[in-house]
């Protein structure tokens, strides 16, 4: 009898662990909301078809979410009386975008499956679907994240790497999230799409020497030297193929045409030069490594089981 009770106790503990454990699964919604992935994909495709830049914006939303208290959709929360959200943080204010696309997708998912699919999972899937829509690799998105009930302005200001970082700072920033230096170089390839504001590359244009002269001259036309003049003017992070997800970001680095300081430091006589050369010589390794690193990034401190909640509207706590 004692032996039988012991077995039953172990079985109950195992079942409890499977319910509240930290493992994500690619098939998490296969029964509870089988149409979820198709709805998200259709929403992303429509948004990117209307505005190709939106693909980069949705990818950036997922990154800025995961690096601040984990992949929990905290970046989507508006300010409340109880906390100041992350959208006003220095790395986000005036630049983070795509909220309307996420809200529209969430509304469609809610219509299909009430309070089942988290906003955090929508961000993760939308990032993958955005990359695919722009011609990049696909990967199996692990699902089962839940949404946070708070956000952190302070962590958004401290944990998101700024464009002024060098390789050592970037490596430390990614290591703090469980990502390797190789992951950092691969994920930096997300800058093969998207745009940056003049205020984030002005210092590079006027104060750095490891920049192609013609490239810099062309950029200076829309990014004047005086601070406050043209700060929000945009330039593509990849001038070669700005709306195609390919390996041109790395070939640009070989020619000293990285837009941000944090881009060009990846190829500047340092430890990661070899990895940049490898990605520049052909897209296959980059595509493989980027996809693998995105899976790892998507697994940063997710809320699972009974943690957090499934928000009904992504911008506010239930």
Catalytic residues: 64
Q: Is 246 assigned to a binding site?
A: yes
Q: Is 188 assigned to a binding site?
A: no
Q: Is 163 assigned to a binding site?
A: no
Q: Is 65 assigned to a binding site?
A: yes
Q: Please, what is the angle between helix 283-297 and helix 181-188, to 10°? A: 110
Q: Is 159 assigned to a binding site?
A: no
Polymer length in residues for the chain: 318
Q: Can you read off the two tokens belonging to residue 48? A: 């990117």
Q: Is 241 assigned to a binding site?
A: yes
Q: Is 238 assigned to a binding site?
A: yes
Q: Can you read off the two tokens belonging to residue 47? A: 């948004």
**Residue (of 144, 147, 74) closest to 310 by Cα position:** 147
**What Rg value do the Cα atoms of the chain yield, rounded?**
21
Q: Is 161 assigned to a binding site?
A: yes
Q: Is 298 assigned to a binding site?
A: no
Q: Is 191 assigned to a binding site?
A: yes
Q: Is 306 assigned to a binding site?
A: no
Torsion of CA 151, 120, 137, 252, to 10 degrees: -10
In degrees rounded to 5, what are phi and psi of residue 309? -160, 175
- Rounded Cα gap, residues 273 and 269, in angstroms: 6
Strands (E), the chain: 195-197, 234-236
In degrees rounded to 5, what are phi and psi of residue 214? -65, -40
Q: Is 150 assigned to a binding site?
A: no
In sequence order, the β-bridge partners of residue 196 are 235
Annotated binding-site residue numbers for heme b: 191
Residues annotated in a binding site:
65, 68, 70, 72, 74, 86, 161, 191-192, 238, 241, 246
Known binding residues for Ca(2+): 65, 68, 70, 72, 74, 86, 192, 238, 241, 246
* Annotated binding-site positions for substrate: 161
């Amino acid at each position: 009898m004692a032996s039988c009770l012991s077995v039953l106790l172990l079985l109950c503990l195992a079942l409890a662990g499977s319910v509240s454990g930290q493992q994500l699964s690619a098939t998490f919604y296969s029964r509870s909301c089988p149409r979820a992935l198709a709805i998200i994909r259709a929403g992303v495709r429509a948004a990117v078809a209307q505005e190709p830049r939106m693909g980069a914006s949705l990818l950036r939303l997922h990154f800025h979410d995961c690096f601040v208290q984990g992949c929990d959709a905290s970046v989507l929360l508006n300010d409340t009386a109880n906390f100041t959200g992350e959208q006003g943080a220095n790395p986000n204010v005036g630049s983070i975008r795509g909220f309307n696309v996420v809200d529209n997708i969430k509304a469609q998912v809610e219509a299909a499956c009430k309070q089942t699919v988290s906003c955090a999972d929508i961000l993760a899937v939308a990032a993958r679907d955005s990359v695919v829509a722009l011609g990049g690799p696909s990967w199996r998105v692990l699902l089962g994240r839940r949404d946070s009930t708070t956000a952190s302005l302070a962590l958004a200001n401290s944990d998101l790497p700024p464009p002024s970082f060098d390789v050592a700072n970037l490596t430390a920033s990614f290591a703090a999230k469980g990502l390797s230096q190789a992951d950092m170089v691969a994920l930096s390839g997300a800058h093969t799409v998207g745009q940056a504001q003049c205020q984030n590359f002005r210092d590079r244009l006027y104060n750095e020497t490891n920049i192609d002269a013609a490239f810099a001259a062309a950029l200076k036309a829309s990014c004047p030297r005086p601070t406050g003049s043209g700060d929000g003017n945009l330039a593509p992070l990849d001038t070669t193929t700005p709306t195609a997800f390919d390996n041109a970001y790395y070939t640009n680095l070989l020619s000293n045409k990285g837009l941000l300081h944090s881009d060009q430091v990846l190829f500047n006589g340092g430890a990661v030069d070899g990895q940049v050369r490898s990605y520049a010589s052909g897209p296959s390794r980059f595509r493989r490594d980027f996809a693998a690193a995105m899976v790892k990034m998507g697994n940063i401190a997710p809320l699972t089981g009974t943690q957090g909640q499934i928000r009904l509207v992504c911008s506010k706590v239930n």
